[in-house]
């Protein structure tokens, strides 16, 4: 654990590099899981991407 | 919900002659080279054949093929294996070139055609939305493609001014 910004940024870069070098199939499975979470958060009515966010009905 | 299943379906479509060729682009395409970033849809660029005796390309056969196999249409998307998939014809010479020069990657024994990293980066520069600029920065930070090929692409497609502007905005740290 550190509060050194340089070390924190280096650690973030290392994490991203590590994720980028994962096997393709594993990265694609991660996309599946990320989308499942997004859909869960947004709700079933938003289970598709909005082509124009401004056209969405106001809450 | 599985992108692998989407790739299987698209490979079957190509084998059945529904499309001439395809290549995955967008955030899913970028994930072949970078860390995964959440996305809601799959962009697939397709090259279609004109119907016999016609010069006009008609995407109806593509959508009919999917509908016959249970694909649900939702606006401009087709739901495949839980993913909204958008089939996109190449609308610019850059995307046309990117589709022709797409590469085949192996996903646990399944071939997947994907746009090259340098073409994905150039398309991000051309499209120019905030998320595209973020993706281009990701590619640059990851050092994920040969810069000489990227520069050749942007020169060929008249993107040098856009690149200079991007460079000034995000990469030039001099005050």
ipTM confidence score: 0.88
Phi and psi of B81, rounded to 5°?
50, 40
Q: What is the pLDDT of residue A59?
A: 44
Please state whether beta strands B21-25 and B72-74 pair in parallel, antiparallel, or not at all (unpaired).
Answer: unpaired
User: Which pLDDT does position A54 carry in this prediction?
Assistant: 44
Tens of pLDDT, residue by residue over A2-59, are: 789 999 989 988 999 999 999 999 999 999 999 999 888 887 555 555 554 444 444 4
Question: Nearest CB to A34: which of B34, B38, B84?
Answer: B38
Mean pLDDT, 10 residues at a time, chain B of 175 residues: 93 93 97 94 91 77 89 90 94 96 96 98 97 95 91 98 96 73
Structure tokens at B118: 């340098």
Q: What is the pLDDT of residue B71?
A: 85
Cα angle value B79/B84/B89 (rounded, 5°): 100
Residues of A with CB under 8 A from a CB of B: 13, 16-17, 19-20, 23-25, 27-32, 34-39, 48-49, 51
Q: Which residues contact B93 (CB under 8 A, 6 or more apart)?
A: B157
Q: So what's the pLDDT on residue A48?
A: 52
Least CB–CB distance from A31: residue in B3, B75, B84 = B3
- Asked if residues B99 and B93 have their Cβ atoms less than 8 Å apart, the reply is no
Give the number of other CB atoms < 10 A from CB of residue B72: 11
For residue A1, pLDDT over 80 is answered with no
d(CA B34, CA B30): 6
Q: Are B103 and B24 in contact (CB under 8 A)?
A: no
B35 CB neighbours in chain A (<8 A) are 16-17, 19-20, 27
* pLDDT of B75: 87
The CA distance from B13 to B71, in Å, is 13
Chain B's closest residue to A42, CA to CA, is B40
- Round to whole Å and give the CA distance between B137 and B166: 10
């Amino acid at each position: 654990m550190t509060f050194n910004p340089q070390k924190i940024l280096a650690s973030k870069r290392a994490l991203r590099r590590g994720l980028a070098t994962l096997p393709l199939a594993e990265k694609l499975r991660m996309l599946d899981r990320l989308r499942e979470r997004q859909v869960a958060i947004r709700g079933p009515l938003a289970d598709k991407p909005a082509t124009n966010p401004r056209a969405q009905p106001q809450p | 919900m599985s992108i692998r299943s989407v790739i299987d379906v698209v490979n079957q479509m190509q084998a059945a002659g529904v499309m001439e060729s395809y290549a995955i682009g967008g955030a899913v395409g970028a994930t072949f080279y970078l860390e995964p970033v959440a996305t809601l849809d799959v962009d697939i660029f397709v090259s279609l054949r004109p119907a016999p005796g016609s010069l006009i390309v008609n995407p109806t056969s593509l959508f009919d093929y999917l509908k016959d196999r249970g694909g649900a249409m939702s606006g401009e998307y087709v739901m495949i294996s839980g993913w909204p998939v958008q089939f996109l014809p190449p609308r610019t010479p850059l995307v046309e070139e990117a589709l022709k020069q797409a590469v085949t990657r192996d996903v646990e024994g399944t071939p997947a055609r994907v746009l090259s990293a340098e073409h994905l980066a150039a398309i991000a520069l051309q499209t120019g939305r905030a998320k595209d600029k973020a993706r281009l920065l990701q590619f640059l930070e990851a050092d994920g493609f040969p810069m000489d090929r990227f520069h050749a692409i942007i020169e060929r497609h008249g993107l040098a001014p856009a690149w200079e502007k991007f460079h000034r905005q995000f990469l030039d740290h001099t005050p």
